[in-house]
């Protein structure tokens, strides 16, 4: 079974996010995001790094597209920056910011690259946060209005839309643990309030996209915290892993929000887990209004998720401790290729929708060698292992539509600044020189058509 034998209509791509690559954080009328403000607080970001310049994609995108075209990149996932388009989050539209994405779309299509647009990848306008942010129900309307501005401008050419990227992370890490922007440590009940407002914003944005974009394809990109059976031959271990993947664990900290049931169940089943009413009945009574669940569960076209690593579960439901010397990435994350198979299987059995893997990759110890190349053999090995598991899932009839590498280029890795390198393209942040890594050439050999 070869990883070169994927279905002909399988979509290969690479992904990025506006705040991580664009830079130009205060140029051409862009408003501040919560990450712009958070990064200025001492001790919040590794090395005192900021997204002010990042990869300077805002100015260098044409050269970057030329590199994508040369590599034969089939699809490019990127996000629109809400504060670049609407600096105050509501009200006046910044024409220069919107024009940037307009030109980018044309450039991608001219290069034969299919655009996948994420509407929200964590860079909330600071002005919206100052008005209450995700704690306020009205944010669902503010997000829907922003969505209409973007889709009205770009929807004649962009058909693939992702409303939110990893709400479990920007709420769990940013509003519960306080380690990401905006750095809040809210109560569990208050974060659940935010969860509902994100889902409501997704539902309203979905309606807007349907109204403004003909033949649109819509979904979310969830973080996948997959539980894998420690003993795949034991049906009790498989069932324990399934339950651990699909049922919330009331951990008392930010990990609670990694449960897929806060996001996938409302969208695909029109309900929250039953345990919510037992643990936080006031959320049901005070936050969820009549008609909300119908609005949230309006039909979407796919289930998207991002996967890096998981956890192994024994037959009794306990987490199996890592083996001594277990392989880990430069970020310290364990390497769990089989989670890609189990995740797609569990999600298919639970929700039955076509699936996309919108992020998959690793941070590795990459540098430009003396021969002026980047020999990232460990990334090639990592991807080989993970793509084999994806191929296995497809072989069992699971409807996987595409896979996107995280990321296209090295970038600003949130609270870890520029320490971690996830890209297929190396970026020298002092000079902004790009160097294609060996992994890009390797992947190009997989996604380029053979005939």
Q: What is the mean pLDDT of the chain?
A: 97
* pLDDT at residue 449 is higher than 80: no
Q: For residue 243, give its domain range.
A: 11-447
* pLDDT at residue 3 is higher than 80: no
Residue 1 maps to a domain: no
**Global confidence as pTM:** 0.97
Burial class (CB in 10 A: 0-12, 13-18, 19+), 92: exposed
CATH number of the domain where residue 79 is located? 3.20.20.80
d(CA 186, CA 167): 15
Give CA separation, 381 vs 327, 386, 439, in Å: 12, 9, 9
Band of the pLDDT at 376, cuts 50, 70, 90? very high
pLDDT at 4: 73
Residue 166 maps to a domain: yes
pLDDT at 5: 85
pLDDT at 451: 44
Residue 393 maps to a domain: yes
User: Three-state SS for 227?
Assistant: strand
pLDDT tens, position by position, 213-260: 999 999 999 999 999 999 999 999 999 999 999 999 999 999 999 999
How large is the average pLDDT for residues 276-287? 94
Beta-carbon contacts of 161 under 8 Å, excluding residues fewer than 6 positions away, are 116, 117, 119, 151, 209, 213, 216, 217, 218, 219
Q: What angle is formed at CA 14 by the lines to CA 12 and CA 18, rounded to 5 degrees?
A: 145
Give CA separation, 309 vs 90, 225, 226, 228, in Å: 37, 7, 7, 10
Beta-carbon contacts of 64 under 8 Å, excluding residues fewer than 6 positions away, are 57, 408, 409, 425, 434
pLDDT tens, position by position, 387-445: 999 999 999 999 999 999 999 999 999 999 999 999 999 999 999 999 999 999 999 99
Residue 396 maps to a domain: yes
How large is the average pLDDT for residues 169-182? 98
How large is the average pLDDT for residues 140-162? 98
pLDDT at 409: 98
* pLDDT at residue 22 is higher than 80: yes
pLDDT tens, position by position, 311-370: 999 999 999 999 999 999 999 999 999 999 999 999 999 999 999 999 999 999 999 999
pLDDT at 2: 65
Active-site positions read 166, 359
| Tally of structural domains, the chain | 1
How large is the average pLDDT for residues 37-60? 98
pLDDT at 450: 52
Q: Strand 217-223 relative to strand 160-165: parallel, antiparallel, unpaired?
A: parallel
Residue 137 maps to a domain: yes
Residue 389 maps to a domain: yes
pLDDT at 1: 44
**Residue from 319, 163, 171 nearest 245 by CA:** 319
How many residues in total does the chain contain? 451
pLDDT tens, position by position, 87-127: 999 999 999 999 999 999 999 999 999 999 999 999 999 99
What percentage of the chain exceeds 70 in pLDDT? 99
Residue 279 maps to a domain: yes
User: Three-state SS for 115?
Assistant: strand
Residue 374 maps to a domain: yes
**Residue from 400, 421, 402, 403 nearest 411 by CA:** 421
């Amino acid at each position: 079974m070869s990883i070169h034998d994927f279905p002909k209509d399988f979509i290969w791509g690479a992904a990025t996010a506006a705040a991580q690559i664009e830079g130009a954080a205060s140029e051409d009328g862009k408003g501040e995001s919560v990450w712009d403000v958070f990064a200025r607080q001492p001790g919040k970001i590794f090395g005192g790094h900021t997204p002010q310049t990042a990869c300077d994609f805002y100015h260098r995108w044409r050269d970057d597209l030329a590199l994508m075209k040369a590599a034969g990149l089939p699809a490019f996932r990127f996000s629109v920056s809400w504060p670049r388009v609407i600096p105050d989050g509501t009200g006046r539209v910044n024409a220069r910011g919107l024009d940037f994405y307009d030109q980018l779309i044309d450039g991608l299509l001219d290069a034969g690259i299919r655009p996948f647009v994420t509407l929200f990848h964590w860079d909330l306008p600071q002005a919206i946060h100052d008005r209450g942010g995700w704690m306020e129900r009205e944010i669902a309307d503010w997000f829907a209005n922003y969505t209409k501005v973007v889709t009205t401008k770009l929807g004649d050419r962009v058909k693939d839309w992702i409303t939110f990227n990893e709400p479990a992370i920007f709420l769990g890490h940013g509003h519960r643990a306080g380690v990401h922007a905006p750095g809040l440590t809210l109560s569990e009940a208050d974060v659940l309030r935010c969860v509902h407002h994100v889902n409501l914003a997704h539902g309203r944005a979905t309606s807007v996209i349907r109204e403004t974009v003909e033949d649109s394809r819509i979904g979310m990109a969830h973080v996948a915290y997959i539980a894998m059976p420690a003993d795949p031959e034991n049906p009790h271990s498989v069932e324990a892993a399934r339950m651990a993947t699909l049922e919330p664990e009331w951990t008392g900290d930010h990990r609670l929000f990694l449960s897929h049931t806060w996001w996938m169940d409302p969208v695909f089943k029109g309900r929250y887990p039953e345990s919510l009413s037992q643990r936080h009945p006031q959320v049901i009574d005070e936050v969820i209004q009549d008609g909300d669940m119908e609005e949230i569960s309006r039909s979407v076209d796919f289930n998207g998720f991002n996967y890096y690593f998981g956890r192994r579960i024994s037959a009794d439901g306990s987490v199996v401790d890592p083996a001594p010397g277990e392989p880990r990435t430069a970020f310290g994350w364990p390497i769990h290729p089989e989670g890609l198979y189990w995740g797609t299987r569990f999600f298919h059995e639970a929700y039955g929708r076509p699936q996309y893997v919108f992020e998959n990759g690793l941070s590795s110890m990459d540098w430009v060698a003396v021969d002026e190349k980047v020999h990232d053999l460990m990334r090639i090995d990592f991807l080989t292992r993970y793509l084999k598991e994806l191929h296995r899932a497809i072989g069992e009839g699971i409807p996987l539509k595409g896979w996107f590498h995280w990321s296209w280029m090295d970038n600003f890795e949130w609270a870890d600044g520029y320490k971690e390198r996830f890209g297929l393209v190396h970026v020298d942040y002092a000079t902004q020189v790009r160097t294609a890594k060996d992994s890009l050439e390797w992947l190009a050999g997989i996604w380029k058509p053979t005939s």
